[in-house]
Amino acid sequence: MRNSFNAVLLSVLALVPALARAEWFQREEAIMGTRVAVELWSEDAALAERAMDAVMAEMRRTDELMSTYKPESQLSQVNAHAYERPVQVDADIIDVVEKSLEYSRLSDGVFDITYASVGYMFDYRKHVHPTDAQIAAALPAVDYRQIVVDHDARTIRFLKPGMRIDLGGIAKGWAVDRGIDILRELGVEHAMVNAGGDTRLLGDRRGKPWIVGIRDPRNEGKVVTRIPLQDEALSTSGDYERYFEEDGVRYHHILEPGTGKSPKAVRSVTVIAPTATQTDGLTKPVFILGVERGLEFVRKVKDAEAIIVDNQGRVFYSDGLTPPQ
Assign residue 128 the CATH number of its domain.
1.10.3980.10
Residue 260 in any domain: the answer is no
Domain with 121 in it: 80-158
DSSP 267: E
Question: What is the distance between the alpha carbons of residues 259 and 244, in angstroms, rounded to a whole number?
Answer: 19
Residue 323 in any domain: the answer is no
- List phi, psi (to 5°) of 123: -130, 100
pLDDT tens figures, 82-106: 999 999 999 999 999 999 999 999 9
- The pLDDT of residue 21: 60
Q: What share of the chain has pLDDT > 90, as a percent?
A: 91
Number of domains in the chain: 1
- List phi, psi (to 5°) of 247: 50, 40
Residue 18 in any domain: the answer is no
Q: Rounded mean pLDDT of the chain?
A: 93
Name the 3-class secondary structure at 259: coil
Residue 273 in any domain: the answer is no
Contacts of 165 (CB under 8 A, 6+ apart): 75, 78, 79, 97, 100, 113, 114, 116, 147
φ/ψ bin of 162: left (φ > 0), alpha (ψ from -120 to 50), beta (otherwise): left
- Widest CA span of the chain, in angstroms? 92
Residue 106 in any domain: the answer is yes
pLDDT tens figures, 13-58: 444 444 446 899 999 999 999 999 999 999 999 999 999 999 999 9
pLDDT tens figures, 191-233: 999 999 899 999 999 999 999 999 999 998 899 999 999 999 9
Q: DSSP per residue over 165-229, as a string? A: ---TTTHHHHHHHHHHHHHHHTT--SEEEEETTEEEEES-SSSS-EEEEEEETTEEEEEEEEEEE
Question: What is the distance between the alpha carbons of residues 231 and 227, in angstroms, rounded to a whole number?
Answer: 13
Residue 152 in any domain: the answer is yes
Question: What is the distance between the alpha carbons of residues 131 and 136, in angstroms, rounded to a whole number?
Answer: 9
Name the 3-class secondary structure at 68: coil
Residue 137 in any domain: the answer is yes
- List phi, psi (to 5°) of 51: -65, -45
The counts of H helices and E strands in the chain are 8, 15
Residue 95 in any domain: the answer is yes
- The pLDDT of residue 22: 80
Question: What is the distance between the alpha carbons of residues 82 and 241, in angstroms, rounded to a whole number?
Answer: 30
Q: What is the pTM of this model?
A: 0.91
Mean pLDDT in residue range 282-296:
98
